[in-house]
Chain A
Amino acid sequence: GAGVSQSPSNKVTEKGKDVELRCDPISGHTALYWYRQSLGQGLEFLIYFQGNSAPDKSGLPSDRFSAERTGGSVSTLTIQRTQQEDSAVYLCASSFRRDNHEQFFGPGTRLTVL
């Protein structure tokens, strides 16, 4: 595809349920990032994948959050036992490493935890 895609675009869930958010990066991009954007806030870095290297998980807020990237392409962000404070827009971005870090963002998934 032409850009980064994310699904679903909106997700409403009940507190305590698990959710999975998907990101399809731009073909050929080796780096993939997940960010969280809470209402009225900036972007909070969550996790970063680069090629086959171990991911940088330093931004994950708790052990309820995890992410994987299969085959160096699609990534899934999983939130277990969701809490109301997890409500936010989750943004995925990808970049072509040799292009000096310019990140291309997807439209985001708006997660609402009731």
Chain B
Amino acid sequence: AQSVTQPDIHITVSEGASLELRCNYSYGATPYLFWYVQSPGQGLQLLLKYFSGDTLVQGIKGFEAEFKRSQSSFNLRKPSVHWTDAAEYFCAVGEDTNAGKSTFGDGTTLTVKP
């Protein structure tokens, strides 16, 4: 069965600093990988996704993520964090079938210090 681990429950960074959120997955076949963001009181919004091809994917709001098959990782990065980035971030892995069911990690809460 597929699984997703987000090792960091809570991360605090200063505004303007760089950010990296870790995600490790377990899946036997080619994974479909996603990062979602959930702002307080909001639904989940897709930041970016990886299906195949270039292992460095660009997303919205200046985020990017790199797929590393050898490390079973899909870490999310942003070079300069803004206070509006404070939210909860979820990594997810989707089945390599047409079913599309995704397994989500437990999330990482990002706090941004002024």
Contact = CB atoms under 8 A, between A and B. Distances in A.
A42 B104 contact: yes
B102 to A, nearest CB: 7
Interface string B40-61: 0011111001010000000000
B106 A41 contact: yes
Contacts of A105: 36, 43-45
A81 B103 CA distance: 27
Given A43-B90, A43-B104, A103 B46 contact: yes
Contacts of B101: 33, 45, 48, 56
A42 B99 contact: no
Interface string B70-101: 00000000000000000000101010001111
Given A45-B102, A100-B51, A108-B43, 4 more contacts: A41-B107, A56-B101, A102-B49, A105-B43
Interface of B: 4, 6, 32, 34, 36, 42-46, 49, 51, 90, 92, 94, 98-107
10 contacts: A42-B106, A50-B98, A91-B43, A100-B32, A100-B51, A101-B100, A102-B46, A104-B46, A105-B36, A107-B43
